[in-house]
A and B are shown apart, each in its own frame.
Chain A
């Protein structure tokens, strides 16, 4: 799929679907690193990863709220919603790999790049012409001359959504209508979403939509070159940086210079899970293979449950939380099991979603 400049409601829907897909796509990589940490160890790293992954869930839910507010229909169970890993994200002139890997220095480097993408300095650089990688997480942008361009980074993608929302609302207002005609009953509100990485914002107009976008794009990288976001919380980028620099940030610290207590990281207290493991890596038939297949099927069911929750049944989020704990249990079970025939590599969930015909 490629996107165009947002001038129609359909195109806005396409962007918001892509946003949900993008926000979700960071979750399996974060979970893989999180659950690869051996229980009882690495409490600093565990908590940083946990905070970040929960906030990505908030971003996903916020994107669903915006889509519902403008009359769209979230669908997390459709084919292609979960990418094949490794996938790629744009970082200015290049792309970088986002894969499923154990907690490690390399994994944290990738997370730093996810959370603070390069920013284009000028408006004219928001879109760049360069080689396209397969498995890019952001759709390409179809220019007026029909050539494919690329968003400079995630920030530019959200900027276009913000611009498109304002533009379409202005157009609707000319004829006395509103862009935000979605059923309010489809909004996820604090009644069913709480303790989940920040306040959920029900979206009902341009202001709340822009607020939601701001939260999504600033929770990661901080607010205007400071280490705290506009809610006063340490941003994801600087949370991860503490693990690499081995020191906590304190209020008043300058970026890149944490002055708090030491952060203990035991890079070895980690299950040696195979990077970007896929079902084909597991012998067949085996209990390991069956468990990995089962994990993927349950994960797809879970995405189906979220789709229902985002389609007017927000109370289902309570059951979905129970699903998440079971997902954790099954993921841990896989990660503790060696892959036969490898020298010391363990299995991991593969997040390869079964095709509709197989379910």
Chain B
């Protein structure tokens, strides 16, 4: 369990909003804690804290209003020169289990980060990627195996 439980919960909420999957589904992948520490490892605690702080403010200001949340997220996070690329990377991380380097413009503006390279977080991260349930398929050879199951129609999960 991560030391800062409140920050971790904020990370989960942010992840849920930007991926479109519920916190239950995200936790169900078993990757939440490892992605949170990956983010901190690459960006440092201060940058992650800043991202979560903006997210908390956006949540507070919009309450239950989903449309307002969407609007304010785009304005405060996705259009932000520093936080936008990080949020987009977070989405990619959840969907494919891979960290991709931040854009060149980001690195020029905010500096190179030592661990900001392309890597798969863990073997499980690949098979637990959200892209698989999103397209109603299984990661080949890793889930839904069993002789002949490939001849059955795909089961599209509710997303």
Contact = CB atoms under 8 A, between A and B. Distances in A.
B146 A38 contact: no
Contact of A325 (B1, B22, B145, B148): B145
Among B30, B124, B152, the most chain A Cβ lie within 10 Å of the Cβ of B30
A43 to B, nearest CB: 13
Interface of A: 38-40, 286-288, 291, 318-319, 321-322, 324-326, 329, 332-334, 336-338, 344
Given A39-B124, A287-B22, A344-B1, A325 B28 contact: no
Contact of A39 (B1, B30, B149): B30
A333 B146 CA distance: 20
Given A291-B24, A337-B24, A326 B30 contact: no
Contacts of B145: 325
What is the predominant secondary structure among interface residues of chain A facing chain B? helix
B27 A338 contact: yes
B30 A318 contact: no
B143 interface: yes
A38 B30 contact: yes
B147 A336 contact: no
Contact of B147 (A39, A286, A321): A321
What is the predominant secondary structure among interface residues of chain B facing chain A? loop
A337 B146 contact: no
Given A322-B146, A325-B145, 4 more contacts: A287-B24, A332-B28, A336-B28, A337-B24
B30 A325 contact: no
Contacts of B143: 325, 329
Interface string B115-159: 000000011100000000000000000011111110010000000
A356 to B, nearest CB: 25
Nearest to A195: B147
6 contacts: A318-B146, A321-B149, A324-B146, A325-B146, A329-B144, A338-B27
A337 B26 CA distance: 9
Nearest to A288: B24
A340 B147 CA distance: 38
Contacts of B53: none
B147 A318 contact: yes
